[in-house]
Amino acid sequence: MKIKVFTLFPEMLRPMLSQSILGRAIKNGLLEVELYDIRAYTLDKHRRTDDYPFGGGAGMVMSAQPIVDAIEANTAGFSGRRVYLSPRGRRLDQRIVEELAREDGLVLLCGHYEGVDQRALDAVIDEELSIGDYVLTGGELGALVVIDAVARLVPGVLGSDESPEDESFTTGLLEYPQYTRPAEFRGRAVPEVLLNGNHDHITAWRREQSLRLTLERRPELLETAPLTDADRAMLKRLRRAEALDIPGERLELRLADQFPRQWINAFVPEAGRKAARKQCISGRRHVGFLWQAFTLGLIDGLTGDKAEAAWRAQPPEEALLFLPDEGLLYRVPGALELPGHVVLTDPDMTRTLLRAADGRRFYAAVDLS
């Protein structure tokens, strides 16, 4: 990839082009960036490159002559796209960056002051691009943004460890959160799932996080992102989770996936389910759901009234609330009113719940309505 930058201030770009990944790419010949000083081409006897605007108004306008001469003198046999950086341009995004990366070369013209004489643009520019809806003092930062974004798509510029494939916009979604050592920093732990080496769980967790962040911050991206059926199901649950407004922290849905409805049915005695339904009909509801609590260890071996008495005597700090129909799992304050308890005796489910609870002691409350 060959990039020619035309600017009044070539020294503004040099430091960025000599460091880090761009510096390495240029040194290795994967990227060629040439800086041309527009002032070197002026025919004005005072070496001026700008003048007052026809029609009046504030500021100065860059003259056509030095720009057109500079570009024409240095683009013989050039094939590629000639770009002017300007807030009027088509807004740059990753799709356009991909387009630019397929060109043989790029010319980037950087304006200054109030802009460039329109006739220079008409003569030597193919397209105006904007790096965002704001005004800069010059196009140089825009040119650097284009160079940087394009360079990292040039094969070999990123090492194999730095591959662009699962990051934001390549997947059409925002990127999931990343963590590195230490496993705990200022009391904040890295999510357990990333530490235990189960790559299917890690992939699922990252996908859920990407979907969650995209839904929260850039929902419009979901309209064009390539989504699987599982993604759509996850999004439906994330949207419902938002609508429910349960007090407490929603745990990752990946964990909720481990609590199929059949499990609940298998472990809640028929009598308990019937009682739960009756209570529901008689109006004992909390945020629209009837909660049935499962205790984990704390009131081991107790059922019914005894379990409830034990719950009240030693209320848990936190509880797990699972809404099987919604596929949602919450960590809620234990002080919430939880009508009726069933002691959980199945060791597999207990282990799974405890794993979901990060090994801490929790009550699990299950919606039976």
DSSP result, 232-281:
HHHHHHHHHHHHH--SSEEPPHHHHTT--HHHHHHHS-HHHHHHHHHHHH
Here the contacts of 271-280 (C-beta below 8 Å, separation 24 or greater) are: 272/340, 272/342, 272/368, 273/368, 275/340, 276/340, 276/368, 276/369, 277/368, 277/369, 279/339, 279/340, 280/368, 280/369
Instruction: Note whether 112 binds ligand 4GO by CB under 6 A.
Output: yes
Residue 337 beta carbon to ligand 4GO: minimum distance, rounded to whole angstroms: 55
Contact 299, 364 (CB under 8 A): no
CB of residue 213 vs ligand 4GO: minimum separation in angstroms? 25
The amino acid at residue 93 is D
By DSSP bridging, strand 61-62 and strand 50-51 are antiparallel
Restricted to residues 129-158, the positions that interact with ligand 4GO (CB under 6 A) are 130-132, 134-136, 138-139, 142
| Shorter beta-carbon distance to ligand 4GO: residue 90 or 278 | 90
Q: How far is the CB of 194 from ligand 4GO (least distance, A)?
A: 37
Structure tokens, 98: 């991909």
Span from 94-102, 124-132, 194-202, 339-347 in contact with ligand 4GO (CB under 6 A): 124-132
Give 61's strand partners.
51
* Count of residues near ligand 4GO by CB under 6 A: 16
Structure tokens at 9: 């201030």
- With binding defined as CB under 6 A, does residue 212 bind ligand 4GO? no
**Closest distance to ligand 4GO from the beta carbon of 244 (Å):** 41
Query: Is residue 67 within the footprint of ligand 4GO (CB under 6 A)?
Result: no
Closer residue to ligand 4GO (CB): 8 or 204: 8
Q: How far is the CB of 130 from ligand 4GO (least distance, A)?
A: 4
Site residues, ligand 4GO (CB under 6 A): 85-87, 111-113, 115, 130-132, 134-136, 138-139, 142
